[in-house]
Amino acid sequence: MSVIKNNLTSIQDSIIQHAEKNHKNAENITLLAVSKTKPNALIQEAYAAGQRAFGENYLQEAVDKIKSLKVLNEIEWHFIGPIQSNKTKPIAQHFDWVQSVDRLKIAKRLNDQRLDTMKLSDNTTPMLPLNVCIQVNISEETSKSGLSTADISELASFIEQAQGLVLRGLMAIPQKNAPAETYINMQQLFNTLQKQYATVDTLSMGMSNDMAIAIASGSTMVRIGTAIFGAREAKA
Ligand SMILES: *Cc1c(COP(=O)(O)O)cnc(C)c1O
């Protein structure tokens, strides 16, 4: 059995274990395979093992991969990296999801550009609106992207009415060794948003090192890189 297949199986098993322990349904927890810096061959290997959702951080690298892996039906691409406002177009054109939207200007550009792309797509494979998670700076680190909790509702209400976007939920990258309270705060913000908007079903929280506490706090999507593909080379 391939190493990647092995890793995917053991992560799926531990998602099930953590879900059961917390009386949650593991079927409601999506595993996002974070493939940044990893070559196409490894993505294909994960796909062959049944993995469908992949997360990327670096735009040019991601667009190259998306273009060359077009043959993989059902593959789903999530942009999870910081977004510069002059780089929104390739995200709108090529991705299924964007999880790192943290300001109105970005959401507006993504909406306009997605609508343009949807108009140009042919009828046999119509392009759907872009699924969006709002990134919340839950640990309030000045260096990290994400908006502060007070600003969620304004951005959410814009995304909700935007025809090119679908509001799916919230994403967070808690600080290393963040207290349980941080995760619970995210859970509460998510619950509030879910009550307001019918399309909200995603709390994207948890990486290789904090998957257990994230699932205990209601995460519906864990973003795992290292535990699937191994350590990354430092990005130059
Ligand atoms: C790199 C990255 C991950 C994956 O992190 P690992 O520790 O390798 O599992 C998850 N989410 C985001 C936003 C990332 O940038």
Tens of pLDDT, residue by residue over 155-199, are: 999 999 999 999 999 999 999 999 999 999 999 999 999 999 999
Rounded distance between C-alpha atoms, residue 179 and residue 196, angstroms: 27
Rounded distance between C-alpha atoms, residue 77 and residue 53, angstroms: 6
Cα of 196 to ligand 1 centre, how many Å?
A: 29
Single out the residue of 4, 1, 2 nearest to residue 228, CA to CA.
4
User: Whole-number mean pLDDT of the chain?
Assistant: 95
**What does the pLDDT read at residue 143?**
63
Single out the residue of 35, 37, 28, 67 nearest to residue 52, CA to CA.
35
Cα of 37 to ligand 1 centre, how many Å?
A: 11
Task: Give yes or no for a contact between 180 and 213, defined as CB atoms under 8 angstroms apart.
Answer: yes
Single out the residue of 52, 56, 50 nearest to residue 74, CA to CA.
52
Ligand 1 atom at minimal distance to the Cα of residue 99: 13
pLDDT tens-digit readout, 203-213 = 999 999 999 99
Q: Name the pLDDT band for 89 (thresholds 50, 70, 90).
A: very high
pLDDT tens-digit readout, 111-149 = 999 999 999 887 777 899 999 999 999 987 766 678 999
| Ligand 1-lining residues (CB < 6 angstroms) | 34, 36, 57, 80, 173, 207-209, 223-227
Q: Where are the alpha helices (DSSP H) in 95-209?
A: 104-120, 152-161, 180-196
Matching residue, tokens 């927890």? 29
- Is the model more confident about 143 or about 96? 96
**What does the pLDDT read at residue 142?**
67
Instruction: Find the mean pLDDT for residues 39-55.
Output: 98
DSSP assignments along 11-74, one per residue? HHHHHHHHHHHTT--GGG-EEEEE-TT--HHHHHHHHHTT--EEEE--HHHHHHHHHHTTTSTT
Burial class (CB in 10 A: 0-12, 13-18, 19+), 124: exposed
- Is the model more confident about 154 or about 120? 154
Q: Please say if the pLDDT value at position 56 is more than 80.
A: yes
pTM of the model: 0.96
Instruction: Find the mean pLDDT for residues 209-235.
Output: 93
CA distances from residue 163 to 54, 100, 113, 118, 150 in whole angstroms, order as listed = 24, 19, 11, 10, 24
Instruction: With residue 92 as reference, give the H or E element that holds it.
Output: helix 88-94
**What does the pLDDT read at residue 26?**
97
